[in-house]
Amino acid sequence: MRPAIFGMALGTLVFISSTSTAAAEQTTAACVSLANGKFRLMPADGCTDRELTIEWNLRGDRGPQGPAGPQGPAGPQGPQGATGAQGRQGAQGEHGLTGQTGAQGVQGETGPQGPEGPQGPHGADGRPGDPGGLIVVDADGREVGTLTDAHNGHVVRRAGDDMVWFVAPRSGLEATQTVFFHAQADCSGDRLLLTVGGQGLAYFARVHGSAVFYTKTLDPYGQIAIPIVAAEVIGPNDDAMLRGQCVPYDGGARSLGVVTSYLDPSLGALTAPFRVR
């Protein structure tokens, strides 16, 4: 009977101790009736001899700290604080990228004219001009050459750095066959022409279309003797700057000179009749 009563009293005390306000003392006491298990807080004069005195601690030892609870929601934003003092100036940053070239500005006014510069060096002498005298021209007034022999129709004309002379009749420069001589049977060597007397101021030339052919070899006393074994024939309408037809030809030993060629497109454009201007 006593153990049952004591258990009931202990359960009741546990309940009361968990719901009552903690007292200033560290321990408290109660009187439990041995007859019916009722209890009362022990008075100042103590429990009777029919009661069981029970004493216990109101506060036990501190238990271990529990785990942290979840973070609460953020509170409202506080008022803006006062502006702080200006910090020290930072180090200079790296040089930035070069920007794009801006649009071209409007053209400024022309400045005043500068002072006259010093005189430049004397230029090189120009080529000598054509000799004066009567001029032979074609039907369109284009120059053929300077007349040197009116009776035979001989004219002088410039061919590069040389002066050449040829026959320029009133009927114009008609297309004719041109023949070069060779000292080799297959015409593989230099083209050769008969030398003509003269002192080298102007050379006799054959005109074939727009090309002029002449030799600058001088042999006034006939001392040159080259055997002719072949001839190169250029047809009237063939390009004389190209090789013509090579034919055997025994022309004997003659005074010959190597051919000089000069291309003059304006010669091929001349139209008859020719006249003296």
Nearest to 134 by CA among 116, 118, 147, 117: 147
Please say if the pLDDT value at position 77 is more than 90: no
| pLDDT at position 243 | 95
Please say if the pLDDT value at position 114 is more than 70: yes
The tokens for 220 are 């006034």
| pLDDT at position 82 | 82
Q: Round the average pLDDT of the chain to a whole number and report it.
A: 84
Q: Which of 75-79, 108-112, 121-125, 243-247 has the lowest mean pLDDT?
A: 121-125
- Percentage of the chain lying above the pLDDT 90 cut: 49
| pLDDT at position 38 | 85
pLDDT (tens digit per residue) in 188-247: 999 999 998 888 899 999 999 999 999 999 998 889 999 999 999 999 999 999 999 999
Q: Which residues of 146-184 are buried (b: 16+ CB within 10 A; e: fewer)?
A: bbbeeeebbbbbbbeebbbbbebeeeebeeeebebbbbe
CB 196 within 8 A of CB 256: no
| pLDDT at position 126 | 54
Three-state SS sequence of the chain: CHHHHHHHHHHHHHHHHHHCCCCCCCEEEEEEECCCCCEEECCCCCCCCCEEEEEEECCCCCCCCCCCCCCCCCCCCCCCCCCCCCCCCCCCCCCCCCCCCCCCCCCCCCCCCCCCCCCCCCCCCCCCCCCCCCEEECCCCCEEEEEEECCCCEEEEEECCEEEEEECCCCCCCCCCEEEEECCCCCCCCCEEECCCCCCCCEEEEEECCEEEEECCCCCCCCCCEEEEEEEEECCCCCCCCCCEEEEEEEEEECEEEEEEEECHHHHCCCCCCEEC
Q: Which of 23-27, 122-126, 133-137, 171-175 has the lowest mean pLDDT?
A: 23-27
Please say if the pLDDT value at position 9 is more than 70: no
The reply to whether omega before 128 is within 30° of 0 (cis) is no
Instruction: Determine if the pTM surpasses 0.85.
Output: no
The pLDDT-based confidence of 13 (bands split at 50, 70, 90) is very low
- Percentage of the chain lying above the pLDDT 70 cut: 86
| pLDDT at position 16 | 42
Which carries the bigger pLDDT value, residue 1 or residue 81? Answer: 81
